[in-house]
Amino acid sequence: GDLSGASNKTLGSKFKSQLNDLMRTLHSTEPHYIRCIKPNPNKAPLEFVGQMVMLQLQYSGVFEAVEIRKKGFPFRKTHGDFFKHYRCIKSLKFNWPRDVKKCNEILTKELGMEGKLKTGRTMILYRAKEHKQMSLKRNLAVEKTVIFLQAIYRGYTARKLKNQLLKLRPILRAALKGRDLVKIGAALAKCDGVGFPIVEISKLKRLKYVIEEEKRVLDNLKRLLTKDPEDVFDELETQIASAEDIKFSNKLVQEGKKRLEEIKVRRKTRAWLDEGVNEHLREKLEWAIKSFKSLNMTKSADKARFKAAEKELERIGKEEKLVKELKSAVATGGYLSANSQIDYRPCESSVSKADSFGMLTKEGIAMLARATYFRDLRISMYSAVGTKDKAAWNQVESVISSNSDYNNEDEVQVAISELAKQRSESDVDEKLQEAYKIYDQETLAYQLEQAKTFNMFGNSLYPIVEQAQEMLNRIVEARRKMVKT
């Protein structure tokens, strides 16, 4: 019966056993009080409600606890920790006593905190104000110490690097004297990890690059020069550029440059043959034809270009002759004064020839337009001068207004002047005729004065002038007699 009773524990004994286990666990830890603060009522992340947090801190007594803590001694260190933390304010060579409390007395005096710190049997207590002052002094001391340690370390690393570079320098200089890639590579491998690029290292790296580039360029040139340079022009140009970059030159490179320049001239020749034909430019055609003859351009397409260029150059020569003929025709037969004899036939004939031929050069097109303009002007002036035909003079005005580029030329200026004169004379003629019909003395007198200004008296085109003068004289005489009576 005793055995069965021992195995069946009561509920109270189980609770007691569990409570003892919990207390043992709690006593084995260092508990800290944690107050949870809710940042917002929505339980949402990255959302902070200041008023809500403030109320929680007020009503939970956190502010009161902080205030109480501030009135006490919130900073506490054991004698050992205090000594370890602030001992750096004294020199490294300072001879400290063995008793840690005496050491702290020296530190307290050095920190200027005598009477401000509370020293107990095991701990030193102090407030925030004293903590700030002591921390500032400690930080200044730590800064000086760190600078001193940095200087020692940097000096050590610099001396170490110097000795390392002095050992490497003879190896590097020996490798620089030759062009052995194996030795150069071995010398550079020994420099791996060296933190300072001395001149010899830079020169050796450049030498290695130059030697490797020379080998690569030579191998590529040997391959490219066996092919048609026009088919590998871009690649050949790249290799020559690489050779010039490393200032490398030998017979193979010179041959590559020669072929490259020849291809450039060929390409320019083809371009100028095409442009000369399409743009009708003598200068480009002459250069391209001369260049073609000096080059060995045997492709059928190139020969076709050459023939087309020769044909176009011959055509340009004929066009230039027509341009001279047009210039000569424009220079003669114009109406430059009242005694000039208008002859539009030279212009008409030359323009007809040029139109039939088809002017294509810029000079030819411009000269044909000029000759056409003066042909039309002369034909219209030939029909209008010496007449008062309004239709003929309207045609003169139409030609003049068709192109203002020639308005400053003498022949056009004369035509404009004659047109204005004719318009004025026609106006006087019309008004005299109207005044003559109604015996208007004032209008007759005024318009006759205008007729004198335009030299219309004695002009067979305007017989009304003499008639109006005779009419005016009669009117004046009749009125004079009426006044006497």
Q: Which of 16-25, 102-111, 365-374 has the highest mean pLDDT?
A: 365-374
Task: List Cβ neighbours of 184 (8 Å cut-off, separation of 6 or more).
Answer: 175, 178, 204, 207, 208, 211
Q: Which of 281-285, 387-391, 435-439, 450-454 has the highest mean pLDDT?
A: 281-285
How confident is the model over 119-137, as a mean pLDDT?
Answer: 90
Tell me the backbone φ, ψ of residue 165, rounded to 5 degrees: -70, -35
Residue 461's CB is within 10 A of a number of other CB atoms, namely 14
Per-residue pLDDT of 429-440, as tens digits, reads 999 999 999 988
Q: 381 with 342: CB under 8 angstroms? A: yes
User: Residue-wise over 82-118: b if at least 16 C-beta within 10 A, else e?
Assistant: bbeebbbbeeeeeeeeeeeeebbeebbebbebeeebe
pLDDT of residue 71: 79
- pTM of the full predicted structure? 0.56
- Cα separation, 276 vs 232, in Å, equals 27
Per-residue pLDDT at 447 exceeds 80 = yes
- Cα separation, 314 vs 318, in Å, equals 7
- Assign 32 a pLDDT band (cuts: 50, 70, 90): confident
Q: Where are the alpha helices (DSSP H) in 28-99?
A: 50-59, 62-71, 79-86
How confident is the model over 116-136, as a mean pLDDT?
Answer: 90
- Cα separation, 430 vs 388, in Å, equals 11
- Assign 66 a pLDDT band (cuts: 50, 70, 90): confident
Percent of residues, the chain, with pLDDT higher than 70 = 98
Angle at 43 between CA 39 and CA 49, to 5 degrees: 30
Angle at 378 between CA 377 and CA 379, to 5 degrees: 95
**In angstroms, what CA-CA distances link 17 with 11, 22, 27, 396?**
10, 9, 16, 133
CA-wise closest residue to 53 among 36, 68, 65, 67: 36
CA-wise closest residue to 393 among 411, 412, 415, 410: 415
Q: What is the mean pLDDT of the chain?
A: 90
> Quick one: which H or E segment has residue 485?
none
> Quick one: which H or E segment has residue 76?
strand 75-78
The encoded tokens of residue 204 equal 């050796």
Per-residue pLDDT at 3 exceeds 50 = no
- Cα separation, 64 vs 67, in Å, equals 5
- Assign 1 a pLDDT band (cuts: 50, 70, 90): very low
Distance of CA 322 to the CA centre of its chain: 48
pLDDT of residue 446: 92
- Assign 7 a pLDDT band (cuts: 50, 70, 90): low
- Assign 322 a pLDDT band (cuts: 50, 70, 90): very high
Tell me the backbone φ, ψ of residue 126, rounded to 5 degrees: -160, 160
pLDDT of residue 485: 66
